[in-house]
Chain A
């Protein structure tokens, strides 16, 4: 034959695909909602698991910290007697832990009139301590007349005249919040180590319990996501069969298989984003409400970190889009393989 006048069709009009998809979603709203609900439920489940996990962790940390504080205060007051209307001196060396920060507030709750805080050896007094009743002071002024002197912070024991400082306190008590070696405070001083090292067996038990929980959670998440993918895929297949003739017609008009695939992937992405975003909100709200019932609202609120929530939300939206794209692979390729002659059949 003579030189072929036939050329290759290359056009994949993206704007047309968008237009068809958007109008299709609007007009076939019921069908789109079914697909959307698939994504929404799956992602809501994932989000509620993730949020629940972080709430449980936060609550555990919170209750452990509160218990640890109470234990330390109890240990201290056993030596000093009630702290009512007494001042407590604190020497801070280096950065302090969350529990040490809570100690200041706990001392005041216990009845102490004020906490005199001396940050030494280059340490900076942390922000967020109860204002007004925690006062910055020199080490000597902090210790003078205090019920006890408390050493906090991760640094090494600063080089102070500990004997004189402790001698200035009423009961000559030096309490060390860390498991660091206590400084030499003189023969007649009582030196308390408030820190408690958990037993190795206890730690091992905690670790294996955490491992078991992680495994169980991963398993549940995997199964639920698989179910989600199958659900979305099924809903999309239904919508492909509904659109058999429409797709065949488009192919008759010159649509490439790639164009048909493109349409389905755009639809999957759109439904994925919307469904996942809604699922995130629903899942997080559900988890927060459920845990509020068992732990109380304020504990749950203090256990939730907005950054973790945001990170989990982003993860869930990404997962939702990813899942719906994976779910769209089969329906899209099924639709794109459709022969144009399908359009001629009048009874579908």
Chain B
């Protein structure tokens, strides 16, 4: 494959935009490299990652710390631009987008869930959920109705006026998920969403994500080490030293040793 000049036809031939099941390709990374420069030293965070993510897929990304996991995560989440290679989100090369277009993309196409919830502490639960809608230009009334609907969806309709500090960890993460779903995104990007939750609430969160995927057809991409989360996902991607070393289905992974078959 040519690494310098990739045109649309070649691309279509190499990666058909829909798979056998008719699922559209929603994120495509082609030979993505990322180099961070700190003065004279160069850090190769990604050394050429190629990846295809289908609509409605539940993908887990695994990898030791420093493996380039977060960098890959940022790239396919529209949070950073690759040094070389291409990232297409919904057929659009994100390197071509300016700041306002990226903001639009982050606002409507992608919902982010963070390890540390990252709710805006000064706002109530409902206001947090309404915030992305305000950025999308939705009116206050409409945003409130939709916000309440989504809170009901994640099982938090009974505490809309509480501030994050007054909620438990599980409730905060539910609120964060509701916020991620505010503008009906096609992709939910979750960065270790269960890492700060106890076993039980973590399981609830995983179930909730799976339900959303099944019912709303949202594509879920999560960086995780949570075995229960890995078991629930469609595909598991193992990244090491800036390269994707394995792509496997949960059945192919021995969860006791953490090794791929």
Contact = CB atoms under 8 A, between A and B. Distances in A.
A339 B79 contact: yes
Contacts of A256: 99-100, 103
Interface in B162-197: 179, 182-183, 191
Interface in B107-139: 107-108, 112, 114-116, 118, 120-123, 127, 131-132, 134-137
A7 B123 CA distance: 28
A257 B99 contact: yes
B90 interface: yes
A5 B92 contact: yes
A301 B137 CA distance: 56
Given A251-B103, A253-B107, A341-B74, A11 B136 contact: yes
A24 B122 contact: yes
B48 interface: no
Contacts of B123: 19-20, 23
A27 interface: yes
A344 B74 contact: yes
B113 to A, nearest CB: 10
Given A16-B134, A19-B127, A27-B122, A6 B92 contact: yes
Contacts of B134: 11, 13, 15-16
A346 B122 contact: no
B105 to A, nearest CB: 6
A6 B70 CA distance: 25
Q: What class of interface size applies to chain B in its complex with A?
A: 35 or more
Contacts of B137: 10-11, 13
A254 B80 contact: no
B73 interface: yes
B101 interface: yes
A23 B122 contact: yes
A253 B106 contact: yes
B52 to A, nearest CB: 16
A1 B92 contact: yes
Contact of B101 (A7, A15, A253, A339): A7
A23 B99 CA distance: 28
A253 B176 CA distance: 11
B132 A254 contact: yes
B91 A251 contact: no
Nearest to B99: A257
Contacts of A340: 79, 106
Contact of A346 (B91, B93, B108, B116): B116
A246 to B, nearest CB: 6
A252 B190 CA distance: 12
A249 interface: yes
A344 B122 CA distance: 19
Given A6-B101, A339-B80, A344-B73, A254 B92 contact: no
Contact of A344 (B97, B107, B114, B120): B114
Interface string B248-260: 0000000000000
B15 interface: no
B135 A344 contact: no
Interface string A27-47: 110000000000000000000
B198 to A, nearest CB: 17
B8 interface: yes
Q: What class of interface size applies to chain A in its complex with B?
A: 35 or more
Interface in B36-85: 70, 73-74, 79-80
B122 A20 contact: yes
A253 B135 contact: yes
Interface in A312-348: 339-341, 343-344, 346
A252 B93 contact: no
Interface in B144-170: none
B16 to A, nearest CB: 15
B8 A1 contact: yes
Interface centre among B80, B107, B132, B182 (most CB of A within 10 A): B107
A55 B115 CA distance: 61
Contact of A254 (B116, B127, B136, B191): B136
A344 B132 contact: no
Contacts of B107: 9, 253-254
Given A9-B135, A339-B79, A340-B79, A253 B104 contact: no
B58 to A, nearest CB: 20
Interface centre among B80, B131, B132, B135 (most CB of A within 10 A): B135
Interface string A91-109: 0000000000000000000
Interface in A221-263: 245-246, 248-257, 259
Nearest to A10: B100
20 contacts: A6-B97, A6-B104, A7-B101, A11-B137, A16-B134, A20-B120, A27-B122, A28-B122, A248-B118, A249-B118, A249-B120, A254-B183, A255-B103, A256-B100, A339-B80, A341-B74, A341-B79, A343-B118, A344-B115, A346-B116
Given A252-B79, A259-B135, 17 more contacts: A1-B88, A6-B97, A6-B101, A9-B100, A9-B103, A16-B131, A24-B122, A27-B121, A249-B118, A253-B106, A254-B103, A254-B132, A254-B136, A256-B99, A257-B99, A339-B80, A343-B118
Interface of B: 8, 70, 73-74, 79-80, 88, 90-93, 97-101, 103-108, 112, 114-116, 118, 120-123, 127, 131-132, 134-137, 140, 179, 182-183, 191
| 3 closest residue pairs by CB, A with B | A254-B107, A9-B103, A9-B104
